Amino acid sequence: MARSESELILVAGGAGFIGSHLVARLLDEGREVLCLDNLQTARPSNLRLLQGRPGFRFVEHDIVLPLPETVTAQAHRITRVYNLACAASPPQYQADPEHTMLTNVVGTHHLLRLAEKAGARFLLTSTSEVYGDPEVHPQREDYRGWTSCIGPRSCYDEGKRAAEALTFDYARMDRAEIRVARIFNTYGPQMHPDDGRVVSNLICQALSDRPITIYGDGSQTRSFCYVSDMVDGLIRLMEAEDPALRQQPVNLGNPVELTVRDLADRVVEMTGTRNQVVYLPLPQDDPRRRRPDIGRAAELLGWTPVVTLEEGLQKTCAWFADELAMDREVLAAE
């Protein structure tokens, strides 16, 4: 689609892992994008890949605070608001739980009000964490979840549940047209090497001389979606016209399920590492099983992931190998 002078897409959290891929894809499509990010968990190199590209503008801002004049003055041009702003890895969102909760509730409120003022469509990136440690498997959108509102993960999963509640209230009050994606584990290039997520952890350990760490006995399961599939799902969800999408969340993730131990074995085989494997205690409230039912996304969006785990892991390992080599060169030159 040709770039239109009048239409502007706002992406909050656009300098993060998924956000930077989403922004790149929107720019590829000829869109004009305003990226808002407080750089809390963003990688500067993700932002450098976007800066200077035609149609891209960046405003450093924390969405917990009222939106700046530079953004509100553009409301008449904003047609889409994507909210991806929130640290997504447990060590990062638990480092400042108060800020995580406020980001989800107050930050989402600021962006919903902007969408209302602009008459723009609003998309919230919620999470499979709203299902907590699930009692049903795989997880469908009508499952109400098994979360703890007093545990160390609650700033994130209860924060996202509150953000969903507020978003659906805006729809019910007819104040904004909304979409809600429940994202399951996503991986790929441009992840933060040290953010404590299982795929980046295992690959970075395998590519350096650190032991491979597995939490618990590794029998807990996860389902991993490659980032290009996730971006495709988010854009389809935002642009799909089915009225059902205004009232229902949609799971986005890859339904191929494997144990964490199996994932570690694949990474070990792919990288050829001989590093020792060590088992550490399972973190509190860690879910035992995770696998999305993506029937709704298939039916309403015509979306299913296309990148296999093998292909996605190859690309991710190759990217991390380049990143780590560059880091070593920089250190050697210092």
The residues assigned a catalytic role are 156
Tokens representing residue 224 in the block: 């991993």
Q: Please, what is the minimum distance in Å from the beta carbon of residue 19 to ligand NAD? A: 5
Q: Does 202 bind ligand NAD (CB under 6 A)?
A: no
Q: Is 130 helix (H, G, I), strand (E, B) or coil?
A: helix
Q: Which of 24, 34, 35, 40 binds ligand NAD (CB under 6 A)?
A: 40
Integer Cα distance of 75 and 296 in angstroms: 32
Q: Are 127 and 100 in contact (CB under 8 A)?
A: no
92 sits in which H/E element = helix 90-95
Q: Please, what is the minimum distance in Å from the beta carbon of residue 174 to ligand NAD? A: 25
Q: Does 16 bind ligand NAD (CB under 6 A)?
A: yes
Q: Does 15 bind ligand NAD (CB under 6 A)?
A: yes
Neighbours of 201 (CB within 10 A): 22
Q: Which of 50, 71, 87, 250 binds ligand NAD (CB under 6 A)?
A: 87
Q: Are 218 and 266 in contact (CB under 8 A)?
A: no
Q: Does 312 bind ligand NAD (CB under 6 A)?
A: no
Q: Please, what is the minimum distance in Å from the beta carbon of residue 157 to ligand NAD? A: 10
- Give the chain's largest Cα–Cα span: 59
Q: Please, what is the minimum distance in Å from the beta carbon of residue 129 to ligand NAD? A: 7
Q: Are 315 and 322 in contact (CB under 8 A)?
A: no
Q: Are 190 and 230 in contact (CB under 8 A)?
A: no
Integer Cα distance of 291 and 37 in angstroms: 30
Report 91-150 residues binding ligand NAD (CB under 6 A): 103, 107, 125, 127
Q: Please, what is the minimum distance in Å from the beta carbon of residue 236 to ligand NAD? A: 16
Q: Are 95 and 136 in contact (CB under 8 A)?
A: no
Q: Which is nearer to ligand NAD, 190 or 273 (CB)?
A: 190
Integer Cα distance of 267 and 212 in angstroms: 10
Q: Do strands 257-259 and 221-223 pair parallel, antiparallel, or not at all (unpaired)?
A: antiparallel
Q: Which of 11, 78, 86, 204 binds ligand NAD (CB under 6 A)?
A: 86
Q: Does 62 bind ligand NAD (CB under 6 A)?
A: yes
Q: Does 42 bind ligand NAD (CB under 6 A)?
A: yes
Buried b (16+ CB within 10 A) or exposed e, 92-122: bbbeeeebbbbbbbbbbbbbbbbbbebebbb
Report 228-247 residues binding ligand NAD (CB under 6 A): none
Q: Which of 64, 114, 301, 309 binds ligand NAD (CB under 6 A)?
A: 64
Q: Does 37 bind ligand NAD (CB under 6 A)?
A: yes
Q: Please, what is the minimum distance in Å from the beta carbon of residue 276 to ligand NAD? A: 27
**How many residues touch ligand NAD (CB under 6 A)?**
28
Q: Does 203 bind ligand NAD (CB under 6 A)?
A: no
Residue whose C-beta lies closest to ligand NAD: 16
Q: Which of 9, 10, 11, 13 binds ligand NAD (CB under 6 A)?
A: 13
Q: Does 200 bind ligand NAD (CB under 6 A)?
A: no
Eight-class DSSP state of 104: I
Q: Is 250 helix (H, G, I), strand (E, B) or coil?
A: strand
Residues that bind ligand NAD (CB under 6 A): 12-13, 15-19, 37-42, 62-64, 84-88, 103, 107, 125, 127, 183, 185-186
